[in-house]
Chain A
Amino acid sequence: MDAFDHLFRHESGRMVAALTRFFGAHNLALAEDVAQDALCRALEVWKIQGTPDNPGAWLMATAKHRALDLLRHAKTAQDLAPEIARAIQDDHDAASTVDELFGAAAIQDDQLRLMFSCCNPRLAEEVRVALVLNILCGFSIAEIAAAFLSREEAIKKRILRGKKVLAGSRRLFELTHRDFSERLSSVHRALYLLFNEGYHGASAEFAVQKELCDEAIRLGALLCENESTAVPATHALLALMCLHAARLPARIDSAGDFTMLLDQDRSRWDARLVAEGQRLMDLSAKGKTLSPYHVEAAIASVHAAAPNSSETPWETVVTLYDTLMQISPSPVVALNRALAIAQRDGPHRGLAEIEHIADHDRLREYPFYSAALGELHLRLGDLDVARDHFADAMRLARNATERRLLQRRIAECGNNRFAVINGTSTRLRA
């Protein structure tokens, strides 16, 4: 990725982080205005004078000057973040204090503190994710709505609700706070949700969703750069995201069609991301806590090491899903475990496992539940049953890409009768 790619979005997040520290969390709206103003100025000046050598530094200097201007208005000064107001009172040379605040290291910390503040447990998870995208990643409400396939009004409400809570405290979250570990888990979850939103929504029509994956990875990498946030679970989460993101080129083809893991051409997986994921896996193998991210990363890593689905050690995959069911059970994990068992022991066993999923009613609204039943019945040659399941999945499909995949499966149920009877369908061997 070019350093200039998404520069405005990323610098927007950095400026808002530094400015929020400067003005206090209660002045978030002011911080956002100043950052927006710096970006508008950049466009106006750069279009005539050309882009400066260090555009990020130019933007930050512009934001800093504007912040100092505002500081000269006594009213704003009194209303600053308490720690800044004190520092500026004690230190007559306000400019040097301000320089320090806008230094690269300080901004890096401010971004983390802002991220932690956005992941306030008082906020619903979808609000946290929307806040992170809006404030730290510089996405507009319209862009977030497009990525989530939601209405702008709904996203706007979410963000306003979140900002109200965020601005309710004068200070950003401190990384030394006693609730640090709990809050870090909340940050992990938000990044994982953000990643999955992009990963599962990624399609040729919506390039922005790939950007959600990139953003989750970028923010995860930021966590890995700070000593207090670079815990094993952080490395495991980032490993997991890299290993999954590596599949994106094979998951969605140029026509926008979706290919399931088992059928993906693994030569199209991003080798650089796979290597990065494996490196992070090694870093995560420390300490005593086994997070769900560790196990999910291990599963992804087994897939990444296997040349194709038939040469995958399914026994290992099943064992890892067993572990995941122990530490973080959910119907979706149970479904994936059942599918791994189907790979190991055949579709009959897979279907029996799905039957036994505790509260599988919760899966009824999940299109891949019906799709999984369809796949296994298709492999058994129960074409009519398979077709009905795929039709159910079709009704629940969340986007055009999923619908096209299911449409292809339904067609296979109708046309491949002869091939399946003869046991030569490629699907039987998948």
Chain B
Amino acid sequence: MAQFMFVFRLPHDQPPRSPAQLQESLPKWQAWFKELAEQGHLKDPGNPLERGGKVVRGSSKQVTDGPYVEKDLVMGYMLVEARDLEEACEIASGCPRLATQMVVEVRPIIPFNP
């Protein structure tokens, strides 16, 4: 089994979703997480991230507000176990928000033991 990090991204200029739309999407996500856990794919469900924080950069260790991205903002992540990259992508295709602009980045984790 190989491990993958799923990085969930959304365009930063998403129109706000209505309370009903937010509530509708909740059971879909919960069902997806449950399914992945039952199938033994869910290594770590991850954590949601605040939209804003700070960015530290440069040798001057300059701290600025951010991240202010031009495009997709990282919303969260999770760790998935799958046979290979192909299976990991198949799993990612079950993400309930793909139809509403969410992008799932599937990144294989480099194993310690070669």
Contacts and interface: CB of A to CB of B under 8 A. Distances in A.
Given A44-B48, A44-B76, A45-B48, A51 B19 contact: no
Given A45-B48, A48-B48, A138 B20 contact: yes
Nearest to A11: B19
Interface residues of A, number: 24
Contact of A43 (B16, B18, B26, B47): B26
B45 A48 contact: yes
Given A43-B26, A47-B29, A48-B33, A138 B46 contact: no
Contacts of B45: 48
B29 to A, nearest CB: 4
A173 B25 CA distance: 35
A47 B22 contact: no
The CB with the most chain A CB atoms within 10 A, among B16, B18, B19, B47, is that of B19
Interface string B1-42: 000000000000000111111110110011001000000000
Interface residues of B, number: 19
A140 B22 contact: no
A143 B18 contact: yes
Contacts of B25: 43
A142 interface: yes
B30 A8 contact: no
A239 B59 CA distance: 72
A420 to B, nearest CB: 48
A12 B23 CA distance: 11
Contacts of A9: 18-20, 23
Interface string A24-65: 000000000000100111111111101100000000000000
Interface in B72-86: 75-76
B30 A50 contact: yes
Contacts of B23: 6-9, 43
A46 B26 contact: yes
A39 B18 CA distance: 9
A90 to B, nearest CB: 34
B20 A8 contact: yes
A44 B29 CA distance: 9
A280 B68 CA distance: 56
Contacts of A51: 26, 30
A139 interface: yes
A143 B20 contact: yes
B30 A47 contact: yes
Interface of A: 6-9, 11-12, 36, 39-48, 50-51, 138-140, 142-143
16 contacts: A7-B23, A8-B22, A9-B18, A9-B20, A9-B23, A42-B26, A43-B22, A45-B48, A47-B26, A47-B33, A48-B76, A50-B30, A51-B30, A138-B20, A140-B18, A143-B18
Interface of B: 16-23, 25-26, 29-30, 33, 45-48, 75-76
Given A44-B76, A140-B20, 12 more contacts: A6-B23, A7-B23, A8-B19, A8-B22, A39-B22, A40-B17, A41-B48, A42-B22, A45-B48, A51-B26, A139-B20, A140-B18
